[in-house]
Amino acid sequence: MIYHIIQNGFDPAYVLSFLIALTIALTVHEFAHAYRADLAGDPTPRAHGRVSLNPLDHFDPIGTTMILIAGFGWGKPVPVNAFRFRHPRRDEVFVSLWGPLSNILVAVVFGLLYRSDLLHAWNYPLFFTIVWLNLALGFFNLLPLYPLDGSHILSALLPTHSARRLDEFYARWGIMVLLLLLLTGMAGTIISVPLDLSVRLLLGGPL
């Protein structure tokens, strides 16, 4: 984020667009996790005040600041107790999936708003940033890398014995693999194709 601000000459409009998009993306993502866990029968997120669309409830002082400084980070993780789910393995998939899926849905909504006759010419930078950031967050979190949502989805879909072995691998190497992919830029490369294609589809442009 800091790098892009410098590149854009500390353009207030760019900074404001990014902060608005980041606030929407993180709030919707964490709310979706909390709401789906609540539906699944786990009272933990509601007890911690996380079934909320108040951005302050999902702000993580370290993780969110890291996004601004380093370009990657996290919102405040939603506490869940999978043992309270009515259908633990199935609900684990849905609770994990709803976070990135909510970001993709937000991108679709804002993409459609931008392409409508009423708003087509209004503030393209803001719409582009909201669409791009929500898609980037959604696709990134679907990667099967611990502790991203994709790792929990994959583990819950595998047979129990395979899931146990995968979880052991994640516990030992998961964070290191994720950091390696982030620091080498490989994570961005992996999601760049679906990300670029989706942005062009939603906002218009050559494919």
What are the structure tokens assigned to 80, written together?
A: 């869940």
Question: For the whole model, what pTM was predicted?
Answer: 0.90
What is the arithmetic mean of pLDDT over 10-17?
76
Decide if 145 contacts 177 (C-beta within 8 A).
yes
Task: State the pLDDT confidence band at 74, using cuts at 50, 70 and 90.
Answer: confident
Hey, is 159 helix, strand or coil?
coil
**Catalytic residue of the set 25, 30, 96, 99:** 30
pLDDT at 3: 43
Of the chain, the end-to-end C-alpha distance in Å amounts to 27
pLDDT at 14: 77
- Residues 104-163: pLDDT tens digits? 999 999 998 888 766 655 667 888 899 999 999 999 999 999 999 999 999 999 999 999
Predicted confidence (pLDDT) at residue 5 exceeds the cutoff of 80: no
Helix (H) or strand (E) holding 35: helix 12-39
Known catalytic residue: 168?
no
Closest alpha carbon to 202 in 141, 139, 142, 120: 120
Extents of the domains making up the chain: 2-203
